[in-house]
Amino acid sequence: MMAVPGSGLAKGLAVTLRTMTRKNVTAQYPDVQPELPPRARGVIALFEENCTVCMLCARECPDWCIYIDSHKETVPAAAPGGRERSRNVLDRFAIDFSLCMYCGICIEVCPFDALFWSPEFEYAETDILELTHERDKLREWMWTVPEPPALDPAAEEPKEIAAARKTAEKLQAQRAKEAQAAQQATEARQAAEAQQTAETRQAAEAQQTAETRQAAEAQRAHEDRTEQKGQQEQKGQQEQKEEEGEA
């Protein structure tokens, strides 16, 4: 189908007319702060506790605008007989934002998550030398870093979380197995104690029965001896009377 001559011009004029009828809205900055996107690149913030002075950020920076100074300290042995070790202590961490081109390479290469993007952008200075900010200022910007956005429900689970959950499940299964084994051992011990108690009770009852039977037999033997003795005495008296009668 052939295009109607002048249709493109008509569409362009229609867009212009629609735009002309809309009300203009002026952002009242600085009274009203702008709504920045979540991943806005305002300034680089430093989380000093995570920095190990590995110098990766300074080496990978294409503008060489990161300045790091450090010294080594000896850490005593954690246990008697152990070996001392040395660690780097951060003395200076500064970024010259007059040279920085906000590429974010330093943040990407940091292996310990010590650098973050902050949406803070109001740090203009009248002197270019004052655009070199030390670690104290970078530390203050750390508290303006927003929380990371929530993960997509359909996204693949991060490998770190999967590994941590797998380890936790393995540990939980091991603890459950140990608890089951302990419960079985307890039940076996209780059963053995119950059996031992029953055997002890049976032995006591058997011993008591034997003692009762022995006492009864002794009593019957005593009665038999008493009766036999009485019969002998009676027989002796009868014989004595017979002898007296014959005399």
Rounded Cα distance, 18 and 226, in Å: 138
pLDDT for the residue 1: 54
Query: Minimal CA–CA distance to 122: which of 94, 150, 141, 142?
Result: 141
Q: What percent of the chain has pLDDT over 70?
A: 98
Asked whether the whole model's pTM tops 0.85, one would answer no
| 205-225 pLDDT, tens digit each | 888 888 888 888 888 888 888
| 78-103 pLDDT, tens digit each | 788 878 888 899 999 999 999 999 99
pLDDT for the residue 23: 81
What is the rounded average pLDDT for all residues in the chain? Answer: 88
Res. 244: pLDDT tops 80: no
Mean pLDDT of 127-145: 93
